[in-house]
Structure formats: structure tokens, C-alpha cells
Copies of this chain bind each other. A is one copy, B any other.
Amino acid sequence: MPADLRMTPQRREVYEVLRVSHDHPTATDVFHRAKERMPGISLATVYNCLEALTEHGVVRQVNVERASSRYCANLDDHVHFHCEGCGQVVDAMPREDVTAAQLWKLPRGTKVTALDVSIHGLCPECAKANTKSSH
């Protein structure tokens, strides 16, 4: 945990919710889960905590299209797969090191700081259901 991030009870709780959740909850989801153990916490505080944690690189913000941001405590290098059937978001690990500059033509002198990839499609369950229902 970064030294310059003051770990208040609220921040600790928000982080703990994310640490044990593997479903990429939204701020509201986090709020409801945190509330179970810390009934006084407010949604604004959850937003503040998520912002502080994100800025300090302790959690990742995951944006899918225009929907509410989701959050994730998995800091390993990974991308997100969004199932268009059931809406779930799951992590996908790279097969090997992938860098943007290797894969896309960028003007000479461009500095890449982050590569943000979302894969859209159907998870195995939805893909199967889809095949069956379509004949």
C-alpha cells in the first residue's frame, strides 16, 4: 500500500470489498457491499475512496462503453472481456507481452503510457445458448 495514501477505515473497507469481489462491481455495488459492515458510509465517500485508490494505483477503474465505471483490485497486466449475453466482465491475461507500439502504427515520438483493451463477445455459456436457440 503506498505510503502517501492514508488508510482510513472507509478506504480500507472499500478496498476490502474490491479485494474479495471478482465481478468488477460498480461504485453503487461497492457502496451496498461496504454498507453491510459499515452502515454509515455514504455513496460520495465510496466515490472519493475509489478515486483515491485508483489514483494511487491500488485498484483499476474499468470502463465499458458508457455504462457505470467498474472497479477491480487485480493489478496484474490484463484486459477485460465483456459478455454481450449475460453482461459479466471477466479478466483475460495476455499470452505474452503485448505493447501498443508493436501492434499499431503510431507517429514517431509518441509516448505510450497505457494500453486499454476491451474484448466484446459471448462467454462460452452464452455462446452455447445462442447456438442452440438459433436453430
Contact = CB atoms under 8 A, between A and B. Distances in A.
Interface stretch (A5-13, A29-37, A109-117): A109-117
B119 A100 contact: yes
B95 A123 contact: no
A69 B106 CA distance: 22
Nearest to A85: B111
A110 B94 contact: no
- Would you call the interface of chain A mostly helix, strand, loop, or mixed? mixed
A38 interface: no
Interface residues of A, number: 40
Contact of A113 (B94, B112, B120, B124): B120
Contacts of A75: none
A42 interface: no
A135 interface: no
Given A63-B66, A127-B111, A92 B106 contact: yes
Interface of A: 63, 65-66, 69, 78-79, 81, 84, 92-95, 98, 100, 102-124, 127-128, 130
